[in-house]
Amino acid sequence: MTTLLLVLFVGALFAGFLGSLTGLGGGVILVPLLTIGFGIDIRYAIGTSLISVIATSSGAASAFVKEGMLNIRIGMFLEIATTLGALAGAAIAYFAPTHVIAILFGLVLLYSAAVSFKKSKEEISVPDQSNIKYGRFAQLLKARGTYVDMAGNQTDYKLQHAGGGFIVMWVAGLLSGLLGIGSGALKVIAMDSIMKIPFKVSTTTSNFMIGVTAAASAGVYFSRGYIDPVLSMPVVVGVLGGSLLGARTLLKSQTKSIRFVFAMVITFLAFEMIYNGIVKNI
């Protein structure tokens, strides 16, 4: 039993580090680890993963708030969409067959891997948005901020296309509640590509948001008995430690090589989840 808890702790430490570093959340590592590696029922794995996602968000966001990098105003607005989606996803998960959830999880992992393979935008300068007119709703939110890049240059940015980003965030919340992941890939893409928020601001704000999203669906899993305290304890401690380490690493370094390794790992896990789902081993 002690060996099992230690292995879970080490795996969670690794998952929390990568989840915080990439903004994707540790669930993309934890759910395959628990289901394939330990043979745990996928719904219990998802419940444990949601608890760990809350820990990841708490650990990473605390560091990001201190650095003044994340945009809390934008994050709280988008959390309305992700929370609604998370509740819907948790409800669907109760009725969906476990092998179907496994296949869907694998497909989401492949998508996350594709996102990680893309060239990091950390070194790309943010276009000047001073002359861009943004919508009335974005004006009401005062959704703007200042970004300092790796070279120390300060650039102002404004949230654009709030409606499109809100819809994508609802889908991200749906996947979070259904699969027990932070859905950081969709959140980062929604903020970075659709709403034109700088990459590191998108990543740090995503880390801030995933905890609230996970908390919404975790309540549903807890009420149905899919959260085991004994299983969750070493996972939460490991993920919290890993997320703090990942947050500090992100703030001080570029992450191209780590993203590549991360993408390779989750690509392998994706095919494992899809295969086990097709043959109904999960």
What is the pTM assigned to this prediction? Answer: 0.71
For the chain, the maximum distance between any two Cα atoms, rounded to a whole number of angstroms, is 61
- Under 8 Å between Cβ of 179 and 105: yes
CB half-sphere exposure, 73, CA atoms < 13 A: 15
- Structure-block tokens of residue 17: 């580090």
The CA–CA distances, whole Å, from 230 to 149, 226, 227 equal 42, 12, 9
- Under 8 Å between Cβ of 61 and 145: no
State the Cα–Cα distance between residues 52 and 47, nearest whole angstrom. 9
Tens of each residue's pLDDT in the chain, 282 residues:
678 788 888 888 887 787 666 656 667 778 888 888 888 888 888 888 888 877 767 666 666 666 666 777 788 888 888 889 888 888 888 888 888 888 888 888 787 777 666 644 444 444 455 555 555 655 666 666 666 655 566 667 777 777 788 888 898 888 888 887 766 667 777 777 777 777 777 777 777 777 788 888 888 888 888 888 888 888 888 887 887 787 677 666 655 666 676 677 778 878 888 888 888 776
| Helix-helix angle 72-95:162-179, to 10 degrees | 40
What per-residue confidence (pLDDT) applies to 60? Answer: 61
User: So where are the chain's domains?
Assistant: 2-278
What per-residue confidence (pLDDT) applies to 120? Answer: 47
